[in-house]
Structure 1
Amino acid sequence: MTTTVPKVFAFHEFLGVAEAVADHVVYAQNSALNRSLKEKKSSSTSLNSSAASRDSSSSGSKKAKKEKEARFKIALSGGSLIHVLHEGLLKREDVQWGKWDIYFADERLVPFDSPESNYGLAKREILDQIDTEKYGSPRVFHIDEQLIGDPQECAENYEKVLIKGFAGRDSVKLPMFDLFLLGCAPDGHIASLFPNFQENLREKLAWVVPVENAPSGPSNRISLTIPVICHSHRVTFVVEGATKAPVIKTIMERPEKGLPSSIVNEGAAGRVSWFVDDEALRDVFVTKKKYKFHVDGDE
C-alpha cells in the first residue's frame, strides 16, 4: 500500500468539529443537489431537442419536478458521529432534510430501541428532532428489524434495499453515495469492518456483508463494504478524543499496516477528509489544514 495523505482538518475542541462537519455536510448536500439538477437537465436536453419550443408553463412545471426529484444520498455510521451531527446540524437553517436519503454504513443486530442500535440512536438524536413541517422529512432506509436474528439474511435484505435505491431498472456495479460519514474506533474498525476480519476487508462484489462474532459491542452486525465506501463522491471521517490517538497515529503514519481506514484513504484517494480534534492527533505526524467554512466556495 502506498502512502496516501488525505485532507486532515484539526480542531481544538468538540464544538469546532461539530460546526465544521455540519458545514461540510451541507456543502456536500448542496453540491449533490446541484449536480443532480445539472445531470437531469443535460439528459432531458439530449433526449428531447424540441424541449425549447414548449410553453413557459410546461417548462416551469418540469423545472419544479426536477427540483423535487433531486436527492442527497448519505450514509451514516453510529456512535459518537451521531452526537457530532446532533450538535452541528440541528441548529442550521440550510439543511434540506426533505431531500435527504439516509442509509446506514452498518448496523448492530439489536432491536431499534436498544442503545446499541445505530438507527435507534440516529432516530432519537436527529430524526425525531427535525422540524419536518419547516424542513420536510428525510427518507430513511434501515435494516428490517425482524431479521436481526440472522446476519446473512439481514445483509442480503439490506443489499436489496440499496439496489432498489441506487440501481432502479439499471444494472450498476456499486452504489454511489454523495457523502459517506464514518467514525473510527480505538481498535481501528470503521462501520462494522474490523481489522482482523480479512475476508470482509477483501470483499469485492457484495455491497453488504454479515459480521458475526465481532470483537467488541454487539457480536452480530451487518456492514457496507470497502468498495461501496470508496465509490462515494466524498468520504469523511469524524474522530475525536485522546483514546483515538494511537490508532490515528497508525493510520496516518503506518498505512502499510492495512487498517480499514488506511484502505479507504488509498481506495478513495482525493475524496477523503478527516475532521479530528487535537486530542486525537496528539503525537501524530501529519499535515493539518484549517477548515474554511463555505459560502459559495470550495475547501
Structure 2
Amino acid sequence: MTTTVPKIFAFPEFDGVAEAVADHIVHCQNMALSITGKETVQNESGTASITDNNIITNTGNTATSNTPIHSNHNSNVDLQSRLSMLSLKDSGSGKSISSMDSHTNHHGNHNHGHTSSSHGHNGHHNKRKSSVSGASGRKSSSSVSAHKQHRFKIAISGGSLIEVLHQGLLKRIDIRWGLWDIYFVDERLVSFEDKQSNYGEAKRKIFDLIDIEKYGKPKIYHINEGLIDDPLECSDDYENCLIRGFASKDTVRLPTFNLILLGCAPDGHIASLFPNFQENLRENQSWCIPVAKAPSGPENRITMTIPVICHSQQISFVVEGAVKAPVIKTIIERPEKGLPSSIVNENAAGRVSWFVDEDALTDVMVTKKKYVFHT
C-alpha cells in the first residue's frame, strides 16, 4: 500500500467541525442537484427559507411484491438478475416510487403494497416489511416527473457523527431536505428505540426535528426492524433496497452515492468494518454483508462493503477527541497496517477528506489544510 494522504481539515473546537461538515454536505448537495438558482423567501417567522423549483408532490406509490433473495456472500452475485426480479413498476402517472417491496413472512405468506409515509417505524405495521420513510415535495407548475429529477444520495454511519450532524445541519436554511435520499452505511441490529441504533438516534436527533413544511421531507432508507434477529437476512434485505435504489440508474456493478459520511472508532473500525475481520475487508462482490460477533458494541450488525464506500463521489471522515489520536496516527503515518480507513484513503484517493478537531491530531505528523466555506 502506498502512502496516500487525504485532505485533512482541523478545527480547534467541536463546533468548528460541525459547521464545516454541514457546509461540505450542502456543497455536495448543490453539486448533486446542479443548482443554478434558488429563491429565498421570508416565512411567517421572518426566517429565510428555500423555495424549490420543479419539485413534484409525492401523491402515491405503487410497488410490486417480491420474495427476498438471500445471497451467498462468498460467491459472485448476479446483480442484473436480482434487479430484474426486484424491479419496481411505476404507476405511469408521473408518481415517484417511495415504498419498498413487501417481503415474505416467517410462514411463507406474501404481503403486498405496503407504503411507509412517516419518518419513524410504525408499530402497527407488520415488522416483516421493509421500511423507507417517504418524502414529500412542494407543488410545482412543471410537468417533469419526480423520478426524473436529480436527488442527493447520501449515506451516513452512526456514533458521534449523529451529534455532529445534529449540531451542524439543523442550523442551515439552505438544505433541500425534500430532495434527499438518506441511507445508512451500517446498522447495529437492535431495536430502533435503543440508543445504539444508528437510524433510531438519527431519527430522534435529526429527522424528527426537520421543519418539513419549510424544507420538505427526505426519503429515509433504514433496515427492516423485524429482521434484527437474523443478520444474513437483514443484510440481504438491505442490499436489495440498495439495488432497487441504484442499479437501474447508475450501474449494476456498484451504487454511486454523492457523499458517504463516516466516523472512525478508537479501535480503527469504520461503519461496521473491523480491522481484524479480514474476510469482510476483502469482500468485493456483495454491497452489504452481515457482521457477527463484533468486538465492541452490539455483536450483530450489517454494513456496506469497502467497494461500495470507495465508489462514492465523495467520502468524508468526521473524527473528534484525543482518544482517537493514536488510531489517527496509525492511519496517517502507517497506512501499510491496512486499517479500514487506510484502505479507503488509498482506493478512493482524491475523493477523501477528514474533518477533525485538534485533539484528534495530538502527536500526529500531518499537513493540515484550512477549510474554505462555500456559503
TM over 0.5: yes
2:216 maps to which of 136, 139, 155: 136
SS in 2 for 1:206: coil
Structure with greater helix percent? 1
Give 2:243's aligned residue.
163
Shift, 1:168, TM fit: 2.8
SS in 1 for 2:364: coil
Give 1:26's aligned residue.
26
Q: Which moved more, 1:161-170 or 1:257-266?
A: 161-170
Say whether 1:187 aligns with 2:267: yes
2:255 maps to which of 175, 181, 186: 175
Provide Cα deviations, 1:240-259, integer angstroms capped at 9, x if missing partner.
00000000000000000000
The 1:235/1:67 distance shift into structure 2, 3 A limit, reads same
Say whether 1:214 aligns with 2:294: yes
Q: Distance in 2 between matches of 1:153 and 1:112?
A: 18
Provide Cα deviations, 1:149-181, integer angstroms capped at 9, x if missing partner.
010000000000000000137751000000000
Provide Cα deviations, 1:61-94, integer angstroms capped at 9, x if missing partner.
6675479721000000001001000000001000
Say whether 1:97 aligns with 2:183: no
The 1:68/1:26 distance shift into structure 2, 3 A limit, reads farther
Provide Cα deviations, 1:81-112, integer angstroms capped at 9, x if missing partner.
01000000001000110000000000000011
Give 2:2's aligned residue.
2
Provide Cα deviations, 1:197-223, integer angstroms capped at 9, x if missing partner.
000000001000100000000000000
Give 1:150's aligned residue.
230
Gaps of 5+ in 2: 37-139
What is the TM-score normalised by the length of structure 2?
0.70
Give 2:16's aligned residue.
16
Q: Distance in 2 between matches of 1:285 and 1:171?
A: 39
Q: Is the 8 A contact 2:10 2:355 kept in 1?
A: yes
Shift, 1:128, TM fit: 0.2
Q: Distance in 1 between matches of 2:344 and 2:369?
A: 20
Give 2:188's aligned residue.
108
Gaps of 5+ in 1: 37-59
Q: Distance in 1 between matches of 2:234 and 2:254?
A: 19
Residue identity opposite 2:25 in structure 1: V
The 1:169/1:31 distance shift into structure 2, 3 A limit, reads closer
Q: Distance in 2 between matches of 1:183 and 1:87?
A: 16
SS in 2 for 1:210: strand
The 1:66/1:4 distance shift into structure 2, 3 A limit, reads same
The 1:262/1:246 distance shift into structure 2, 3 A limit, reads same
The 1:35/1:282 distance shift into structure 2, 3 A limit, reads same
After TM superposition, which residue ranges in structure 1, 4 or more long, deviate above 4 angstroms? 60-68
SS in 2 for 1:217: coil
Q: Distance in 1 between matches of 2:266 and 2:252?
A: 34
The 1:63/1:272 distance shift into structure 2, 3 A limit, reads farther
SS in 2 for 1:280: helix
SS in 2 for 1:114: coil
Residues 278-289 of structure 1 aligned to structure 2 (within 5 Å): 278-289=358-369
What is the aligned-residue identity percentage?
Answer: 70
